[in-house]
């Protein structure tokens, strides 16, 4: 298929069959807390510990987070669909109804999230209409455990077949 004939709607429809976890990336700047929902969080490296996510270049929240140089990734649980929807929308004060406290680096840690990963921005790479953000992990913890919220096919799902957390066994 040529680039000129490529159908973006079809692309999204096909890739929508791949489930992703739902996280909130948050920071604080001179105007207060700022955050956005992402479905593209991933581990990059164990040594040094690096994580990453992708964000659309049209995001109104990302420039504020990028400028701060730090962020906290909050892994949402299945009980937090409403939180995901708040942070997926543009405008409004996303933190008005959300309980949070400062992470060790000062970014918002959502009180009821499954886990958090506190990072300083290590690198940002332009990739088409998105940016790939790499964060150097400075601290992390499981808050409450449980199952992570999953998004696929245009809807949130509860992954009943998944364990509540990692096991001590490794898969092959």
Ordered DSSP codes for the chain = --STT--HHHHHHHHTTS-EE-EEEEEEETTEEEEEEES--EEEETTTTEEEEEEETT-SSHHHHHHHTEEEEEEPBGGGHHHHHHHHSSSS-TTTT--EEE-TTS-EEETT-SEEEEEEEEEEEEETTEEEEEEEEEEEEESS--PBPEEETTEEE--TTS-SS--SS---
Question: CA 31 to CA 171: how far, in whole Å?
Answer: 45
Q: What is the pLDDT of residues 54-72, one digit of tens each?
A: 999 999 999 999 999 999 9
pLDDT at 33 over 60: yes
pLDDT at 162 over 70: no
pLDDT at 131 over 90: yes
pLDDT at 112 over 50: yes
Give the mean pLDDT of the chain: 87
Residue 166 is predicted with a pLDDT of 56
pLDDT at 144 over 50: yes
Least confident of 2-16, 36-50, 117-131: 2-16
């Amino acid at each position: 298929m040529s680039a000129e004939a490529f159908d973006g709607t079809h692309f999204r429809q096909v890739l929508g069959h791949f489930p992703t976890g739902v996280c909130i990336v948050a920071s604080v700047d001179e105007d207060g807390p700022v955050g956005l929902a992402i479905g593209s969080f991933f581990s990059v490296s164990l040594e040094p510990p690096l994580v990453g996510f992708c964000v659309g270049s049209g995001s109104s929240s990302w420039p504020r987070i990028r400028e701060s140089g730090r962020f906290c990734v909050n892994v949402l649980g299945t009980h937090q669909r409403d939180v995901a929807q708040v942070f997926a929308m543009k405008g409004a004060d996303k933190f008005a109804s959300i309980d949070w406290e400062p992470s060790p680096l000062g970014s918002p840690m959502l009180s009821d999230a499954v886990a958090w990963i506190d990072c300083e921005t290590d690198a940002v790479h332009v990739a088409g209409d998105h940016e790939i953000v790499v964060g150097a992990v400075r601290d992390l913890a499981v808050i409450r455990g449980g199952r992570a919220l999953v998004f696929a096919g245009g809807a949130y799902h509860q992954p009943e077949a998944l364990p509540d957390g990692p096991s001590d066994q490794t898969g092959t």
